Amino acid sequence: MNVMVARKPANIRRGTGRDREIITPEGIVLPITIASRGSRAGALILDLVIIGLVQVVTTIALIFLAFGSLASLVDGAGAAAMGSDGAGTAAMGSIEFLTVIWLIAMFLFRNAYFLFFELGPRGATPGKRIAGIRVASRDGGRLTVEMVVARNLLRDIELFLPLMFIGSATGEGDGGAAGLAALAWFLIFTLFPFWNRDRLRAGDIVAGTWVVERPTLQLEAVMTTSATPQEGGQPHAVAYRFSDQELGAYGEYELQTLERILRESRPDSLQAVHEAIARKIGSSAGVGDERAFLDAYYAQLRARLEARMRMGKRKPDKFA
């Protein structure tokens, strides 16, 4: 696979500290906060602990299966002494098969774990979710398979390979040039986030991604302000109803973007998103009442997507 270094996006506005603004392909300004180095390190440690526990449990289970095969091997050796070694051959084949399964499982747990969760709708592993962070594309678009694969393949070069070299050099009692080179290799990549303002590791630079903080506010709590009765006695949100065709214009990715906009509740962003949605679905409603319009659209789009998920139908984004 040819991996190309992603160009630095031109649609990022840098604020002070860790605050950034991304301009999405639809022209919507999204305020974000870059994840701190500490939260990224903590999330990685949590993920490695989870992976380690799963690997230990899997190893123990396979060992029990191997002991069963060894028992068969002993029985087969007794049978071989009587002129038949078929059982022993089958037992040896089972042990070799279990060894191959163990090697594949260890590889998948170490690599497929990150790919599976980061390609999900939340863009975050369990460790990242606990730390309140997630992976995002630096161009404001949707995370692609190529991005997630590239950033996670680089983790082997950044972390696992130098640690393996350090461990092998220590195990052989070789503390010379090879051990020092492996240690320098490890430190360079480990300290990489300290050398740039966006706390990017090498995998982020290659893939065109970064890690950002997830808002801690619950959207339902924010939306209650528009769901309370107004002077007319009716909540604003119920004034807007959308057809299935209008709701079908967007998917899960756009729902997450709308959720972030509603959490931030910035007037300029609300107006820009309202204009984009209204133009997309061919509606002129909600002018001057953008927040209530977006609240209603979010609630109805979310209900539609969840109903379709229960029937096994998913719409990842507006292009699906």
Enumerate the domain spans of the chain. Answer: 12-35+132-213, 40-116, 220-310
Give me the long-range contacts of 236-239 (CB less than 8 A, separation at least 24): 236/289, 236/291, 236/292, 236/295, 236/296, 237/292, 237/295, 237/296, 237/299, 238/296, 239/292, 239/296
**pLDDT level of residue 43 (50, 70, 90 thresholds):** very high
3-state secondary structure of 23: strand
Structure tokens at 58: 């899997």
Residue 50 to residue 126: CA distance in whole angstroms: 9
Stretch 141-160: mean pLDDT: 85
pLDDT at 219 over 60: no
φ/ψ bin of 17: left (φ > 0), alpha (ψ from -120 to 50), beta (otherwise):
left
pLDDT score for 198: 85
Planar angle of CA 110, 122, 260, nearest 5 degrees: 150
Stretch 278-293: mean pLDDT: 88
pLDDT score for 297: 92
- Does the predicted TM-score (pTM) go above 0.85? no
**pLDDT level of residue 227 (50, 70, 90 thresholds):** very low
